[in-house]
Structure 1
Amino acid sequence: MPMSLQRACPVHSRLPVFALGLGLAIVLGLPPAPVQAAVRNAEDLMIVDCLLPGQIRKLGRQATYLSARRPVRTTQADCEIRGGEYVAYDRANYQTALKVWLEGAMSGSAEAQNNVGEIYAKGLGTAPDYGMAFQWFRKAADQGYGRAKINLGYLYEQGLGVERDQAAALNLYREASGIEDELMYASVVQVEIRARDEKITGLEAQVAEGEAESAALREQVRKLQAELGQRRAELHKARDELADTQRRLAEAREQQDDDLTRLLENQLLVQQEQINDQQTQLASLERQAGAGGALLAGSPRLEILDPVFVATRGRNTAVYRGGPGKRQIVGRVNAPQLVREVTVNGQPAPMGANGAFSAEVDVPAGGAQVQVAAVDTGGTRARIEFTLLPQAGQGGATAAPAPAPSGVLPRGVKLGRYHAVVIGNNSYRDAGYPTLRSAANDANAVAELLRSRYGYQTTLVLNGTRLEILTALNEMRETLKPEDNLLIYYAGHGEIGADGQGYWVPTDGASGNPRSWISNAAVSDILNTIPARHVLVVADSCYSGTMTRASVPTFTAATMPPEKWAEWVRAMADGRSRTALTSGGVMPVPDAGSGRHSYFARAFLNVLQDNNRLLEGQRLFQEVAISLALVSMDSPLAQMPEYAPIRFAGHESGEFFFLPKGGGAAAGP
């Protein structure tokens, strides 16, 4: 299907800025009623590290003393009105940010120690110092601080500042969750397509061949990157020409020159079409360059989306709801242009342009053996084997256990109130951002579904400016309670900076000016200060602030007794969660393709509309990923949704739950 618009993520740089406010607040006796901070501009709503002045306190009738200064995170406007000294995370260097928290960290505060670790991990004007981050996260984790355990586990998982240790990472994630044994991580199975033969025979020849292949790939990536630079320059020039035509058109309309107006309007349409074509070509080149880079870094991956694997002792096992009969296998590869063929049990499985593939297998009552194999363009073959079991299976030791009552809210669990901020940006003031067709439709449909079917109190922001979006988020910060839940949905243009930082582009955002956008770091800081226990960001655009899927706790009810399901739900409902479900990582995503909605929005809406039980975020992601892989198989842009905790947003161990009105009544232990 022809594609004209994407919610694209071109590369731009980020401009660091420093902000400082000074003042003095004296408190005697009981604190006075809070004063509402005046908001003058969007910057006043940015979250800052604020060092409040000490309080004058009385001990008895004669002794008066000044308490130590208190570090807090609050808005810039609130810090100013309370007389604090502040710095903004994404506008400061690490020395100024450390000034707020280091004293508390040195005195043993676990929260301050974790914050110092995050400052070093972020970098803030310099390269991240993961070694120092590791030391401070370790200090806080040793005191039992859950957020520090999550951060420390991520460093172990990625090998940042410490030797990579997957076992240590998973142990820390489990400790932070408070559940053992039944808790699983990274239930989706991934295998390396270009797996190396472990035999020593012919190793030297393989090494020589690998070096030659790597050299050829480097040259291919170099050429692609050079072409990317040329195409970006052409796109920038085309946008300048479009802006000039728009200016001339406005002048012609003012002069009431009808002939010139018609001529310029036609020229404007042609230029807009050229820009759309250039963006599609650019997205394709970025995907090719990214795939080449993936090969150099390791290899493309094969991923099984459905069915979901469960933890067993022995071979891989996948369990699905239903009885014996035909069962669909759904998967995808992350670099389809580098894969020649995918087979399921020896039969070719058609693969779409986005890397998705599917095939049917016959599953008897006792289960079926499934082998998925992939062959790359160089002829290298890799395979994964697993046992596929129906939940209703019968017949001895191979039968699936009786299913637990997943989807039922356990007795005594209260999920609290649900709120949503839904943002949909179609029309942009800057000519550098083409008008989108489906973002506002997506936002309207999501807001209505959450309100009518799930009982959310929704705030809808259409074509929102930077101030309007930040104001809506700040209202949640000021009004929500710890027992509340918040979903933030964003559909619109996104940007990715040269340093990997992601941005949402408001309708008044200026092309090439990151200070006019909303950074993911700023969103994460806002999420960190919102009192709500569970927060989920759903972004049909770029959002690059997440950890990895391995750090999300999952539960497979198909193999667990009811009391374990209830225990897991209670633990996840009590834990503090900050997670993100995104439509496509850091690559451009299609603006439309499924009627009036984007592919991602259509899949998201369908899953929530069809759901009639308690639905956890991890399962929502799995069902959206499966649906998206199938409906967008012919899309020229590969979409690989992601679900993970948000870094530096205060995630501890919980999970976000959806419960339709009247569904999933409390039951069980």
Structure 2
Amino acid sequence: MLAGWPVAPAQAAVRNAEDLMIVDCLLPGQIRKLGRQATYLSARRPVRTTQADCEIRGGEYVSYDRANYQTALKVWLEGAMAGSPEAQNNVGEIYAKGLGTAPDYGMAFQWFKKAAEQGYGRAKINLGFLYEQGLGVAQDQAAALNLYREASGIEDELLYASVVQVEIRAKDEAITGLQAQVAEGEAESAALREQVRKLQQELAQRRSALQQTQTELARTQQRLADARASRDDELTALLENQLLAQQEQINDQRTQLASLERQAGGGAMLASAPRLEILDPVFVATRGRNTAVYRGGPGTRKIVGRVTAPQLVREITINGKPAPISANGAFSAEVEVPAGGAQVQVAAVDTGGVRAQLDFTLLPQAGAGSAPMPAAPATAGTLPRGVKLGKFHAVVVGNNSYRDPAYASLQSAVNDANAVAAMLRSRYGYETTVVHNATRLEILTALNQMRETLKPEDNLLIYYAGHGEIGADGQGYWVPTDGVQGNPKSWVSNAVVSDILNTVAARHVLVVADSCYSGTMTRASVPTFATGAMPPDKWNAWVKAMADGRSRTALTSGGVMPVPDTGSGKHSFFARAFLNVLQDNDRLLEGQRLFQEVATSLALGAMDAPLAQMPEYAPIRYAGHESGEFFFLPKGGAAATGP
């Protein structure tokens, strides 16, 4: 049942949920006249739109359910080769997604780099992510940070302070172990050397073959350009097919090369190490020692943190005293803070005895000691003069009842949806669409309504509460009420939601999912601002830059882990924390601070939750994120100030 507007008139051409899928559509060319004598057909134009819209406009497409990267490339490759940065970025995303084959991050890197060199913001974000994660290119955190900064238009590195955290890593003893094995058996050593020699020889042959194929590709590209110039349609079609085949051959060769290089290097990917993070107090960016500040004077102050994989952590201490770790990874302890601040040391020891340590200075904002913190700027938390955030809209989905008996009925999802919608309407002035116990078609119809009606100056929040799934491919899904267990095609994938968000005109979009949503980047790619750390003019400049940028971010209740349905009265732990933060807020609230306060509230309020719950906040991959932040502004609060 949809509240707020009727379903039927929304899209007359829609027959089923598949009609609302976003596809790469190649629209037909237009018949144009050049003077009175010449009539010609313009080139076909690629767009991303719904399957139904593409059909109505006479376009050519292939549904993603049946597509591979070749069919998607057919739409965008010509424009990419002609130099269009949008097309180049889209080709890069096609290779990075895989679409029926393993992702080719090497090819994705090359196309993102071409688009980024032309100043295309989305490509800079995508390229930065590859550098940050070491995908298709050597890992380079500095290069990633610079690309993120360039995309946002912010030059000050302090506004891109990374999250203060440390990773607990086992010491690398692989080399010592291998040397001992070699010493014990010369025969095994000789065999290994022979294997490496053969692999290196095969690598050289593969590289030579790749170079030859690339040369052939360049020749085909030149012949294709000549054919187009001479308007030889038959030869052009033949060469286009040959070009795609050569691109596929290069893709296969690059994949084989990457596999051989991994074998020759003998490196093995280690499992993700536990990560230790301080949630409260908030760290501020400095060029010296890590510093955290809090509102208030000297006295007792609670430190709240969390650790991933708590089962792998033996002990956490704060200034040498053990801090209890809850089942969900949260921990806290109290520290005495004098007026001049306190030195704090948080240490973690894993089950193997490896220690990680985080040192920082804890300062009160209103202290009167030898190193008092300045008061927060009067403009911090306000909307600077001249900055307009536009209208705010929300689609709120709450699913309690499911047709498939394999999905247990939920108790709090509908209550959560109603409470969130009421909060957004009454306190923040949102126009809300509420969807109760929605089918797949109803969820997609509600999202498509936003795609068709919102303007570039608008803001959109999507809230989902209900069952979630993780597919065999690692993809996250929302389960509609008509979803069938074991049948991903009956669910709503994160990729589908991301594709829809990519085509929504709204400048800022935030997905709040009390379920899994795995299609995100990292928090490092979102600029941060610590109130009190910068003067008012920088606060105003930061808000303006974030308001002008196009953002697509997600706040999730628990990463890719299951989350509890109830636990905080008639609401889930996450929904209660989210509602409390919005209710208590009386100023301009940015997405990063919303996450920080929700995460802190969850760490304290869900200490005894049956499942570990670690919220995440990050840009959404392949949804059109360029820069910027999502903001909440209470009605009648946070008056605009400043120049």
TM more than 0.5: yes
1:86: Cα distance to partner?
Answer: 0.9
1:556: Cα distance to partner?
Answer: 1.4
1:61: Cα distance to partner?
Answer: 4.4
Of 412, 421, 425, which aligns to 1:451? 425
Residues 395, 462 of structure 2: 8 Å contact kept: yes
1:587 equivalent to 2:567? Answer: no
TM-score by length of 2: 0.82
Q: Which residue in 1 is equivalent to 2:80?
A: 105
Alpha-carbon distance change, 319 to 75 in structure 1, aligned in 2, over 3 angstroms:
same
1:183: Cα distance to partner?
Answer: 4.4
1:382 equivalent to 2:356? Answer: yes
d(CA) in 2 for partners of 1:314, 1:416? 39
d(CA) in 1 for partners of 2:136, 2:65? 22
Q: Which residue in 2 is equivalent to 1:302?
A: 276
Of 163, 176, 180, which aligns to 1:188? 163
d(CA) in 2 for partners of 1:567, 1:419? 25
1:345: Cα distance to partner?
Answer: 1.2
1:351: Cα distance to partner?
Answer: 1.7
d(CA) in 2 for partners of 1:506, 1:567? 42
Q: Which residue in 1 is equivalent to 2:251?
A: none
AA aligned to 1:140 is: A
d(CA) in 1 for partners of 2:76, 2:479? 31
Alpha-carbon distance change, 70 to 37 in structure 1, aligned in 2, over 3 angstroms:
farther
Q: Which residue in 2 is equivalent to 1:253?
A: none
Q: Which residue in 1 is equivalent to 2:27?
A: 52
Query: What fraction of aligned residue pairs are identical, expressed as a percent?
Result: 84
AA aligned to 2:435 is: V
d(CA) in 1 for partners of 2:77, 2:178? 52
Q: Which residue in 2 is equivalent to 1:642?
A: 616
SS of 2:569's equivalent?
coil
d(CA) in 2 for partners of 1:336, 1:371? 19
1:379: Cα distance to partner?
Answer: 3.2
1:341: Cα distance to partner?
Answer: 2.0
1:194: Cα distance to partner?
Answer: 4.1
Q: How many residue pairs get matched?
A: 547
d(CA) in 1 for partners of 2:19, 2:65? 14
SS of 2:532's equivalent?
helix
Of 97, 103, 125, which aligns to 1:128? 103
Of 304, 307, 320, which aligns to 1:330? 304
1:340: Cα distance to partner?
Answer: 2.2
1:152 equivalent to 2:127? Answer: yes
Q: Which residue in 2 is equivalent to 1:161?
A: 136
Residues 90, 522 of structure 1: 8 Å contact kept: no
AA aligned to 2:104 is: D
1:135: Cα distance to partner?
Answer: 0.4
1:636: Cα distance to partner?
Answer: 2.2
Residues 90, 521 of structure 1: 8 Å contact kept: no
SS of 2:61's equivalent?
strand
Q: What are the residue-to-residue correspondences of 1:59-70 with 2, within 5 Å?
A: 59-70=34-45
Residues 158, 286 of structure 2: 8 Å contact kept: no
1:176 equivalent to 2:147? Answer: no
Q: Which residue in 1 is equivalent to 2:46?
A: 71
Q: Which residue in 2 is equivalent to 1:6?
A: none
AA aligned to 2:408 is: P
1:296: Cα distance to partner?
Answer: 4.9
Of 633, 637, 640, which aligns to 1:663? 637
1:557: Cα distance to partner?
Answer: 2.4
AA aligned to 1:309 is: F
1:82: Cα distance to partner?
Answer: 0.4
Q: Which residue in 2 is equivalent to 1:513?
A: 487
1:589: Cα distance to partner?
Answer: 0.6
Cα deviations across residues 7-28 of structure 1 (Å, max 9, x unaligned)? xxxxxxxxxxxxxxxxxxxxxx
Q: Which residue in 2 is equivalent to 1:93?
A: 68
1:60: Cα distance to partner?
Answer: 4.1
Q: Which residue in 2 is equivalent to 1:236?
A: none
1:162: Cα distance to partner?
Answer: 0.4
TM-score by length of 1: 0.79
Residues 122, 128 of structure 1: 8 Å contact kept: yes
SS of 1:667's equivalent?
coil
- Larger RCO (CA within 8 A; separation ≥ 6): 1
AA aligned to 2:93 is: E
AA aligned to 1:135 is: Q
Q: What are the residue-to-residue correspondences of 1:462-541 with 2, within 5 Å?
A: 462-541=436-515
Q: Which residue in 1 is equivalent to 2:525?
A: 551
1:468: Cα distance to partner?
Answer: 0.6
d(CA) in 2 for partners of 1:153, 1:577? 16
AA aligned to 1:103 is: E
Residues 402, 559 of structure 1: 8 Å contact kept: no
1:295: Cα distance to partner?
Answer: 11
Q: Which residue in 2 is equivalent to 1:399?
A: 372
Q: What are the residue-to-residue correspondences of 1:305-384 with 2, within 5 Å?
A: 305-384=279-358
Q: Which residue in 1 is equivalent to 2:222?
A: none
Alpha-carbon distance change, 133 to 518 in structure 1, aligned in 2, over 3 angstroms:
same
Residues 190, 303 of structure 1: 8 Å contact kept: yes
1:616 equivalent to 2:590? Answer: yes
Residues 163, 523 of structure 2: 8 Å contact kept: no
Alpha-carbon distance change, 131 to 633 in structure 1, aligned in 2, over 3 angstroms:
same
SS of 1:474's equivalent?
helix
Cα deviations across residues 189-247 of structure 1 (Å, max 9, x unaligned)? 111234649xx9x9959999xxxxxxxxxxxxxxxxxxxxxxxxxxxxxxxxxxxxxxx
Residues 114, 137 of structure 1: 8 Å contact kept: yes
Residues 392, 460 of structure 2: 8 Å contact kept: yes
d(CA) in 2 for partners of 1:90, 1:325? 59
Residues 503, 542 of structure 1: 8 Å contact kept: yes
Residues 120, 130 of structure 1: 8 Å contact kept: yes
Q: What is the aligned-residue RMSD (CA, Å)?
A: 2.2
d(CA) in 2 for partners of 1:599, 1:36? 37
SS of 2:62's equivalent?
strand
SS of 2:110's equivalent?
helix
AA aligned to 1:172 is: L
Alpha-carbon distance change, 110 to 90 in structure 1, aligned in 2, over 3 angstroms:
farther
Gaps (5+ residues) in structure 1?
1-34, 209-293
d(CA) in 2 for partners of 1:172, 1:87? 33
1:63: Cα distance to partner?
Answer: 3.8
d(CA) in 2 for partners of 1:658, 1:626? 19
